[in-house]
Structures are given as structure tokens and as C-alpha cells.
Amino acid sequence: MSSESIVSTKSISLNHTQAPPRRRLHLLPYLLILPIILYEGVMIVYPIAQGIYGSFTRIELASNRPPEWIGLANYDRMIHDPAFWMVMRTTLIYTGLVIVVSIVAGLFTALLFNRAFRFRSWFRAALMMPWAFPEIPVVIIFIWILNPQFGVVNILARMVPGITSNPQWLLVPNLAMGWMVLISAWKAFPFYSLVILAALQSVPQDLYEAAKVDGANAFQLFRHITIPGIATTLELLVVLASIFSFKQFTIIYLMTGGGPSGATETIVVRIFNTAFRFYDYSYATAIGVAGFIVSLVIAFFFIVLQARRARENA
């Protein structure tokens, strides 16, 4: 055997016997994510766990006694409580109407601002003003607008033939619910419009040009190109709108407090009233857990929908 073959054989055997290099542990990514984990644990996970535990106890803050474990008693009371199911019905109606109004308004304005016209950038900036306003000033403005004595809406309403008196917008159940939906949608739709506008600009223009050559009209372009092109974005916005409207509290509570006669009392308003007006903290935590489960179901539905769409596109 030649010397070169012996050397190569030794080098191969050394390579086989040499231990694989040890992977270095980089601590920087873990250190960067640690504050987020601590924040989520202290501010979100811990309160959720405390709320779930509290729903199985009887809490009496007026006394010095510790929480008493009562099992499923609060949930049994909730299931057999007609007021709870009325609140859930009101919440679902309010949420569904806000989703429809805000998403449709966002889609319409996005389609409008996707076209080129003069001063378009200024109008886009003005469009975002309702979303940028804090909720409390918005409530104050609309309370003044809907005032039954000198409100702007009543001045306009009296111009309609057949209306001779001042409508009590926030004291009639159907009118109060309608205004809660309109105000909430007015506050939220600019954000949805901005997201839809970004999605519209990502749809290839070649598809529109090819469809126009084939004789497609505006409605066919919208149905077969625009909607499929932004379908994923619309699905995400529906989920976000459902979560945002489901947990809306400030506008409803400051405008009507859940009235009149509970017509606008959603689940978050019910939780607040139960806990801080009637001081029934245990029952309030049980209702809160029920609302939390509904939010989880909405988020899970979106995850399943996105996973199915990803499999279809694969």
C-alpha cells in the first residue's frame, strides 16, 4: 500500500472518530422574548386563571372570609338565568350588525379611495379621523348630537314630513340599539377601510385588464377578481370586528348604560353591572368566563378557516 493511501485512510478514520461540533446556545433570542413572556404571564394569563378560579367560588368582599369553593353553582345559575340569555342575544345582534355595517362601509370607502382622483391623500387622512378619536370624546359629541332638545339629529328629523315631536333616540329600545351600532361602526370602519385598501393594491392589475378584454363588466370584475383577491383579508377583518365589537364597553356604557330596559346591555356591560353595581363578583366572573369561551371559539374558527385555505392553496 502506498504512503498516500495510508495517509488518506488515517484521515478518514480520524474524521469518523471525531466528535460532531457542539452547537452554541444563543441566549440573545431568549432574553429578547423574556419581557414579552413575563408581561403576558402577569397581565393576561394570571388574571385569566384567577377569573376562572373565581367563577368556582363565592366571593364576598364585604366580609373578611376567604373565597368559598362552590363548584359549578355559578354556572348552573347562569344557564338557568333568562337575563343571561337575553344579554347573549343582545350581544350577538349588536356584534353581527356592527360587523356588517363596518365591513361594508370599509369595503365601499376602500374601493372609492383605490381610484385616482384629486386630493386623494387628503381624503384618506380625513377618513382615519373617526378611528383616531378617543372613545370618550366621541361619546360626548354624540350625546350632544342626539340630545332630544337641541341635538342636530332632531333638527334634521323635524324636517321630515310627519315628525312633529323630538324623537328620544336613546330612550326607545330599537332606536338606541341602532345608534349604538352606527356609532360603533363609525368609530371602527376607517381601520377596516385602510386594511382593505392595502389588500386591493396587492391584487394584480393584469387580471383586470385581461377580464376587460374578455368583455367583463364592473360587477363581474368585483365578484370574480376583487372579492377572491381580498377574501383572506375580509375573513381576518370579520374575526377582528367580531372580537372588537364583542368586547365593546365604553361607547355602550357611557351612552346608555345598557338601557333602556336592557335593550343595549351586552355581555361586557352585564359583567360590569353585576360586579360593580350589584357586587356579585362570583357570578360576574362566571359570565366573564362564558364571554371568554365565545371569543376563543371565534378565534378557533378563524384558525381552522385559515388552515383549510392554506391546504387548498398548497
Query: Under DSSP, is residue 280 helix (H, G, I), strand (E, B) or coil?
Result: coil
User: Residues 59, 61, 63, 64: what is their CA dihedral angle, to the nearest 10 degrees?
Assistant: 90
* Residue 195 confidence (pLDDT) above 90: yes
CB atoms within 10 A of CB 159: 7
We report the CATH number of the domain holding residue 267 as 1.10.3720.10
Domain membership flag for residue 126: yes
Q: Vertex 258, ends 257 and 262: CA angle to 5°?
A: 140
Length of the chain in residues, anyone? 314
Domain membership flag for residue 64: no
Domain count, the chain: 1
Domain membership flag for residue 34: no
Tens-digit pLDDT profile for residues 123-171: 888 888 888 888 999 999 999 999 888 888 888 888 888 777 778 888 8
pTM of the model: 0.83
Distance CA 140, CA 254 (A): 9
Q: What is the pLDDT of residue 14?
A: 47
Domain membership flag for residue 76: no
Domain membership flag for residue 226: yes
Domain membership flag for residue 74: no
Distance CA 40, CA 256 (A): 33
